[in-house]
Amino acid sequence: MARLLPFIQPEEADMTMPRRDFLKQATVAGVGGSALGPISGTSEDEITVGTPPQEASHGKSVHRVLDEDPTLTYVDPCMQIWPDADFHLAHRHGVTAYAVTAWDPHADVRTATDGIMYWHGITHEHPNLEIIKTVADVRRLKREGKAGLLLAAQDGDWIGYQLGRIEAFAAMGLRMMLLVYNATNQLADGCLDRTEGGLTRLGERVVDECNRVGIILDCSHTGKRSTLEIMDRSRHPCVYSHSNPSAIVPNPRNIDDEQIKACIAGNGVIALVSWGPLTMRPGTTHRPTLEEFFALIDHVADMAGTADNVAISTDMSIGTYPAHGHDPFGPPTYPDIAAQYNEHVTADFRSPRRQVEGFEDYAQIVDVADRLLSHGYSDRDVEKILADNFLRVALEVWGA
């Protein structure tokens, strides 16, 4: 893999600058004369250069676009897309696969079904997007300069007590799921709850059924004992789609070294997340930096002795994140995982400052990759971290 073009701040952009090899070899995914430009309108003709990552006046999260698709493949294991997103530009942010939260956690089966139907409708309206069902889909979309939606569920409440729903949802495109989101349910313990009972009998059967039908088991947001039991029971590798080491950032949403070691032992993947509140170290008041985020990656890679179990997720949004006083996905009586960040950096949940400094915009993935190389990771390591490690797990769980 060629070294990657550093992220260009708009005020530094040079319209005549030569592109590096990774752009010369890239598949063109759009038009334009600049390396980067913002989303500034509703059509590709309206894209201009000169606006940094921002929210529009109504709070819409916008991401700059690349005029050419970089050779790297990036799979984001956890993110959100809201109804006013610029879907027609989603293939131009440097992301090949978005693991989108397909419906709000704690939804019933009707709401979850509507969520699945919604995403299928989006791909019908926007030919640059497809529902990802196989690893081959990801590779093909990359070649074609398109992007895909990997449908993920952030809990198992929708299952109720009907195991047959899992196979039905897999047939509709669900490819990854949590059993529980923060608060204990009928399947397992949540990481913010006081219970530590582990998997329920029903939860054990859900693990088995996910293995059978080809759904990746995600252990983020889940109580420690439950995660260990999920990983022990599963016949396939499991993932943490957006969690960081609590040894460095002791947030109740993060995971400890025992959980990390168990995931590594099962050949799974820990996707370190750039979401600010889960990267902010105790006693600090500054916005976390990219180097501090890389220290979290190093921690997992050092434990594994290799980069083979590491990925990067963002928990970013495309479109307008809903207004709320507390996390809309969980009751306000649970621990506030963002209190320190809210006090010292920003409490604006729509702000780019909610991400680590240097990676608040999807288009910066090319700079993140370049910085990983400078940090000491090899070209092959970076390819694995950005996509291939996650896709290895997906290949084992989904098949071809």
pTM above 0.75, yes or no: yes
Residue 88 has pLDDT above 70, yes or no: yes
Residue 24 inside a domain? The answer is no
Q: pLDDT value at position 357?
A: 95
- Placement of tokens 């709320």 in the chain: 324
Which structure tokens are listed for 130? 């497809």
Residue 12 has pLDDT above 70, yes or no: no
Residue 78 has pLDDT above 90, yes or no: yes
Residue 7 inside a domain? The answer is no
Nearest to 224 by CA among 183, 258, 251: 258
User: Distance between CA atoms of 96 and 89, rounded to whole angstroms?
Assistant: 12
The pLDDT tens digits for 259-303 are: 999 999 999 999 999 999 999 999 999 999 999 999 999 999 999
- What CATH number does the domain containing 276 carry? 3.20.20.140
Helix ranges (DSSP H) in the chain = 21-24, 109-125, 135-144, 164-171, 201-213, 224-233, 257-265, 290-304, 339-344, 365-375, 379-383, 389-398
Residue 5 inside a domain? The answer is no
Number of folded domains that form the chain: 1
Query: Cβ-count burial of 333 within 10 angstroms (0-12 exposed, 13-18 middle, 19+ buried)?
Result: exposed
Helix ranges (DSSP H) in 94-159 = 109-125, 135-144
| Non-local CB neighbours of 143 within 8 Å, separated by 6+ positions | 27
Among the ranges given (9-13, 216-220, 280-284), the one the predictor scored with the smallest mean pLDDT: 9-13
The pLDDT tens digits for 62-72 are: 789 998 888 99
Nearest to 212 by CA among 221, 220, 204: 204
Residue 38 inside a domain? The answer is no
Residue 35 inside a domain? The answer is no
Residue 318 has pLDDT above 50, yes or no: yes
Residue 198 inside a domain? The answer is yes
The pLDDT tens digits for 333-368 are: 677 899 999 999 998 888 889 999 999 999 999 999
pLDDT band at 59 (very low <50, low <70, confident <90, very high): low
Residue 2 inside a domain? The answer is no
User: Distance between CA atoms of 208 and 186, rounded to whole angstroms?
Assistant: 16
Residue 307 inside a domain? The answer is yes
Q: Which residue has the higher pLDDT, 246 or 52?
A: 246
Nearest to 192 by CA among 381, 329, 325: 329
Domain membership of residue 177 as a residue range? 44-398
